[in-house]
Chain A
């Protein structure tokens, strides 16, 4: 069975023995020697070309749910507020049309909207539909950098 978890001092493949961290390899891969792409958790080498973080969406309601759903009236522009997490590089909001279920069928709601702006604690959106409410789901990610690209 392959070594799967390395907690502590790195190896040459993990950036050198002067590096410390936590690395976890995929099943069947030796965490001591496998390529970076075979890792499912990687505290990296601290280099500019390394992993920047984990894609993990944050709750926006202060509860244990991973996302929230809101409805916006036809043609309306509203602020959807959420907890200010005080992340140093701000937030990136993710919004989509909410799921809807009718009978045994589940799909996305109809609708169209645009994100006008966002801050660390709210996102401002406009429902572009003139005659129907739109249901949106949303959550947020921390931004990893002040730079446009990272």
Chain B
């Protein structure tokens, strides 16, 4: 059985190191470590939920336990019933999305969303970047509701910043 835990020196580094099963923590590659204290962030789960059915109302992940706002938009990992591509032909239209499981995250909420890309309406141009923002909820016109709805959703809010403006040395240094 390999050495699994170091509290002290590993190579030229000092800290806490835990390796995966079957890997010697003394000399294994960093990718084989379960925990590495030379990292600046780890997957600490700050909040989460499971078994939710969500529509257009954002779910506030700070309310349970009255959690404090982290001060940044965090990385949130999702899973739900509907995953992967969706596509449909309508009357004169064709709709396609490469992953139906799209989400909006804020500093306090998560919400399923649908893309809003419709260049055929004559008002959107690539140069002006004036496509509307994604809309809350999922009600694509040509998709089967049962194959787009956000049900049996689970998510984990990690104490890791993940948004424009927050990927800074103050948060990762």
* Chain A contact residues, CB within 8 Å of chain B: 4-5, 7, 22, 24, 26-28, 37, 39-42, 47-56, 64, 92-97, 110-116, 128, 134, 141, 143-144, 147-150
Q: Which of B18-74 contact A (CB under 8 A)?
A: 20-22, 34-35, 37-52, 61, 63-68, 70-71
A37 touches B159 (CB 8 A): yes
Residues of A within 8 A of B159 (CB): 37, 51
Q: Is B16 an interface residue, CB under 8 A from the partner?
A: yes
* Chain B contact residues, CB within 8 Å of chain A: 7, 14-16, 20-22, 34-35, 37-52, 61, 63-68, 70-71, 77, 79-86, 100, 147, 152, 154, 156, 158-159, 173
Residues of A within 8 A of B152 (CB): 115
Given contacts A4-B37, A27-B40, A56-B34, contact A134 B15 (CB under 8 A): no
A94–B37 Cα distance when bound, in Å, is 26
A113–B71 Cα distance when bound, in Å, is 36
A54–B18 Cα distance when bound, in Å, is 14
Minimum CB distance partner of A127 in chain B: B84
A149 touches B83 (CB 8 A): no
CB distance from B154 to the nearest CB of A (A): 5
**A-B residue pair count with CB separations less than 8 angstroms:** 124
A92 touches B67 (CB 8 A): no
* Pairs A–B under 8 Å by Cβ, sample size 23: A4-B15, A4-B37, A41-B35, A48-B65, A49-B66, A51-B46, A52-B48, A54-B45, A55-B156, A56-B34, A64-B20, A64-B21, A64-B22, A97-B83, A112-B85, A114-B147, A115-B82, A128-B147, A143-B50, A144-B48, A148-B49, A150-B49, A150-B65
A5, A22, A54, A149, most chain B CB atoms within 10 A? A149
Residues of A within 8 A of B45 (CB): 51-55, 144
B71 touches A149 (CB 8 A): no
A149 touches B47 (CB 8 A): yes
Minimum CB distance partner of B48 in chain A: A150
CB distance from A5 to the nearest CB of B (A): 6
Contact residue among B16, B68, B82 (Cβ-Cβ distance under 8 Å from A49): B68
Residues of A within 8 A of B40 (CB): 26-27, 40
A5 touches B7 (CB 8 A): yes
A92 touches B50 (CB 8 A): yes
Minimum CB distance partner of B173 in chain A: A28
A37 touches B48 (CB 8 A): no
Given contacts A55-B43, A64-B21, contact A41 B16 (CB under 8 A): yes
Contact residue among B64, B79, B80 (Cβ-Cβ distance under 8 Å from A147): B64
Minimum CB distance partner of B66 in chain A: A49
B20 touches A111 (CB 8 A): no
